[in-house]
Amino acid sequence: MNKHHESTGPSDEQQITLRGPAELADALPYLMGFHPNDSVVMVALHGGRGRFGGRLRLGIPQSAQEWPSVAEQLAECLITGSERRGSRPDAIVIFLCQDPAEGETGNQTMERLRPFAQRLRTACGALDVPVLEALCISDNRYWSYCCPDVRCCPADGNPLAIPGTSVMAAAATYAGIQVRGSLREMESRLAPQATTAGTEQQQALDSAGATLLPKLLDEEGRREVGGSTLKLARRLMKRLVEMPAAMPSLSDHNDDRLISHEEAAAVILGLQDRETRDKAAEWMEGPEAESALRLWRALARRCVAPYEEHAAAPLTLAGWVAWSTGDEPAARVALGLALRLDPGYTFAQLLHEACNQGLDPETLRRCLRGERTTRTVRRGHRTGRVAGARSVRAQSAGRRGARPAPTRPATATGRRRAEQPRAQGRRGTRTRR
């Protein structure tokens, strides 16, 4: 179960009027950016016209015993989150999306989830926010938990609209909004593939771990590993950008093919160091962003068992770059997976919360740009100091090595006087050394 919510702030850019459960059900993928299978989705409504506000998604708990506590947490999270962003919801719409289990019909799925829907409605009502509609979407049909009229909401449900034929689809196309497929499909692009290559990748990770772990325990060795990790990541990004991106599945296959098991293992283990990971997070905009995102996704796919938790670092980086470049749905999926693997991963927690709060990623981008600039200036100062010291040493050596041309004194007395300073100079040189 994914216990991390997803939400976005209200938007006034599009004015779309939805009438009835059918159009609400059809609008869901466009609201989320993907088809949220096996999920509960709650959407806040504001004002008398029911303007869409915050959105929250959670994987449906498998155990019905979790439903009461989860329902209370979700209701409180959506309502308090909306209040922090400026206004309390006037109503809420609930969606329960789940495909039928083996041997189960859509109607049976709907009935099985009915107690969860009721718990959600009760939890919202306890906080004085009514549930305007609660829908179950299963097997390409939808049911309403709020409408008792079988004339409009029959027991067998109603079929979903044909994709691309609704008012929401037309408005989304006009606005350039894309549906990325299902949540399951988006997660599969980031998950390790169970193939024979997985065994080879595990062996590469084992070997790299035996080599790198002793270095990571030493401060000097840790800096060495961090530097080599970032240099290798840079080379891989350059290699990926030279291969144009294609369709998602083909692009992923090509990216996997361009990275060897040994290279993937070295970067994955190097990114477990926080300082190294934070420096890699600076590749979040401009021409670097696309190749970095492809690299982080490819590395997440290489975190095979028993190294699954190592994927938290590349998944978080993938989520950060996606958010930084404006792809919030992909960001939430990647960050949600990172937190599913490691719920205590602080960087993913902070990014996930900031993304859900509707914050502007530019704030973090400025911080990372500042870190990079500061590091560059310091490196320049160190280089300047080293060059200056070398110059001083060279000049000093030049002065020591340049001796005046001997002169022939005119008399014996002059010859003795000329020899004395030279003798003192040689003694002084030995003393200084």
Task: Tell me the mean pLDDT in the region 404-412.
Answer: 43
**306 cis-preceded (ω within 30 degrees of 0):** yes
Provide the pLDDT confidence category of residue 167 given band limits of 50, 70 and 90.
Answer: low
More confident residue, 394 or 344: 344
d(CA 37, CA 198): 27
The Cβ of residue 414 has, within 10 Å, a number of other Cβ atoms equal to: 12
List the beta bridge partners of residue 45.
Answer: 52, 91
d(CA 216, CA 43): 46
pLDDT at 256: 93
pLDDT exceeds 80 at position 177? no
Task: Tell me the mean pLDDT in the region 402-420.
Answer: 43
Task: Tell me the mean pLDDT in the region 305-324.
Answer: 96
pLDDT exceeds 70 at position 210? yes
Residue extents of the structural domains in the chain = 20-184, 189-368
Range from 139-148, 287-296, 367-376 carrying the lowest mean pLDDT:
367-376
More confident residue, 153 or 115: 115
pLDDT exceeds 50 at position 414? no
d(CA 278, CA 320): 11
% of the chain at pLDDT higher than 90: 55
Task: Tell me the mean pLDDT in the region 268-290.
Answer: 95
pLDDT exceeds 90 at position 294? yes
Task: Tell me the mean pLDDT in the region 182-188.
Answer: 91
CB-CB contact of 147 with 153 (8 Å): yes
pLDDT at 149: 87
pLDDT exceeds 80 at position 408? no
- Amino acid of residue 160: L
In angstroms, what CA-CA distances link 45 with 12, 30, 92, 133, 385?
12, 16, 6, 11, 61
More confident residue, 103 or 198: 103
Provide the pLDDT confidence category of residue 2 given band limits of 50, 70 and 90.
Answer: very low
CB-CB contact of 5 with 57 (8 Å): yes
d(CA 223, CA 225): 5
pLDDT exceeds 90 at position 61? yes
- Which helix (H) or strand (E) element contains residue 57? strand 51-59
More confident residue, 176 or 214: 214
Question: Tens of pLDDT along 225-242?
Answer: 999 999 999 999 999 998
- Which helix (H) or strand (E) element contains residue 253? helix 248-258
Beta carbons within 8 Å of 387's beta carbon, 6+ residues apart: none
Task: Tell me the mean pLDDT in the region 92-118.
Answer: 96
Lateral strand order in the sheet of 158-159 = 51-59, 39-46, 91-97, 131-138, 141-144, 158-159
d(CA 23, CA 135): 11
Beta carbons within 8 Å of 330's beta carbon, 6+ residues apart: 33, 180, 186, 318, 319, 322
pLDDT exceeds 80 at position 415? no
3-state secondary structure of 343: coil
DSSP letter, residue 101: P
For the chain, the average pLDDT equals 83
Provide the pLDDT confidence category of residue 174 given band limits of 50, 70 and 90.
Answer: low
Q: Is the pTM of this model over 0.85?
A: no
Provide the pLDDT confidence category of residue 343 given band limits of 50, 70 and 90.
Answer: very high
List the beta bridge partners of residue 144.
Answer: 135
Beta carbons within 8 Å of 36's beta carbon, 6+ residues apart: 28, 29, 57, 95, 97, 182, 183
pLDDT exceeds 80 at position 5? no
pLDDT at 381: 61
pLDDT at 391: 53
| Length of the chain, in residues | 433
pLDDT at 17: 65
CB-CB contact of 229 with 276 (8 Å): yes
Cα-to-chain-centroid distance, residue 234: 18
C-alpha angle 187-5-274 in degrees, rounded to nearest 5: 70
- Which residue spans within 139-245 are E strands per DSSP? 141-144, 158-159
pLDDT at 375: 83
pLDDT at 59: 92
Provide the pLDDT confidence category of residue 247 given band limits of 50, 70 and 90.
Answer: confident
